[in-house]
Amino acid sequence: MTLDEILKEIKNAQTIAILTHESPDGDAIGSSLALKLMIEELEKEAEVIIPEFPRTFQFLPGAEQVKIDTETKNYDLVISVDCATLKRLAKNEYFENAKKTIVIDHHGSNNMYGDLNYVNPASPACCEILVSMAEYFQIHMTKEIGTCIMTGMITDTGGFRYMGITPETFEYTADLLRIGVDIPDVYKRIMGTKTKANFELTKKVISRLEMLEDGKVAFSYINAQDEKEVNAEPGDHEGLVNIGKDIEGVLVSIFIRQKEEENAYKVSLRSEDGINVSDICLLFGGGGHSRAAGALIQGNVEEVKEKLMKEIKKWMES
């Protein structure tokens, strides 16, 4: 069983690092910090290496210990959480130089790039996989671990709203509430708080929002210049794709964000029932989940929009 092997590797390693995907969201950060604390419960140490850390998650236990880089270059064990491919893994040089690697993830598009892979696409959040791991390893669930876990579960289920939710989502949530996790506080921080920069970007996204294909597709964008104007920090673009998604009749929401140095746009797609946006993103070298996916596409706003619409139209017609 993979979980037994994972436990053995953790126990055997002298040096352990945890990595996650670039532009980390609440599930990426929550999984990284929860896993660090779980490893500590097993009386081992692990370093979390995340180059861009959104301010929203600074309240989480262990956030102050997160490293941008470390002295150790060849870890005995490197664990990747919430990340589908090696390419998307931030600081993946640590992964490539590790003696042993483990991948823990919930993306259907995961290509199993670790020595050991524990991937469950039926799980709505990577953090939810960690709860089942903690149970299996008989790790004592603390309030601190639970707070990190709850952050990932709330983020990736959109506050318990998305199709992927499972009975376990609510059972684990109830268990965490029982041990004292302040769920309303986590919920407010993740779902109910906007940074000022995010608010300013929201206004731009709304003013540029276009409805295409008889209102079935919503499209909007932000440029690097917009982010400079509002002093955007990492994570300030989170959730902007939902503005289009929440409009009545919209089946696919497209939000693109300029990556100036790469002459490209980072694409976020969200969909309602029936259109698998992960498959669309895979065509552009990206991936994700059937209803939430992303990719990096070269070109200017119009070119990227055209490339995407060509594929989306095919899906709508099929």
Interface residues with ligand 5GP (CB under 6 A)?
21, 84-85, 88, 107, 109, 241, 268, 286-289, 292-296
Spatial contact of 30 and 60, defined as CB atoms under 8 Å apart: yes
Q: Contacts with Mn ion: how many residues (CB under 5 A)?
A: 4
- Residue 109 or 142: which CB sits closer to ligand 5GP? 109
Taking the C-alpha atoms of residue 30 and residue 247, their distance in angstroms, rounded to an integer, is 29
Does the protein bind Mn ion through residue 82 (CB under 5 A)? Answer: yes
Could you say which of 13, 103, 126, 281 contacts Mn ion (CB under 5 A)?
A: 126
Q: Which is nearer to ligand 5GP, 141 or 277 (CB)?
A: 277
Q: Establish if 128 lies at the interface with Mn ion (CB under 5 A).
A: no
**36 burial class (0-12, 13-18, 19+ CB within 10 angstroms)?**
buried
**Which one among 18, 19, 27, 157 touches Mn ion, defined by CB under 5 A?**
27
**Binding partner of residue 287 among ligand 5GP, Mn ion, none, CB cut-off 5 to 8 Å per kind:** ligand 5GP
Which burial class, exposed, middle or buried, applies to 253 when counting CB atoms under 10 A from its CB (0-12, 13-18, 19+)?
buried
Selected binder of Mn ion within 47, 156, 200, 238 (CB under 5 A): 156
CA angle 291, 81, 236 (to 5 degrees): 60
| Cα three-residue angle 279-282-287, rounded to 5 degrees | 90
- Residue 105 CB, nearest distance to Mn ion (Å)? 8
The tokens describing 59, both together, are: 């309240």
Tokens in use for 65? 């210990």
- Which residues are at the interface with Mn ion (CB under 5 A)? 27, 82, 126, 156
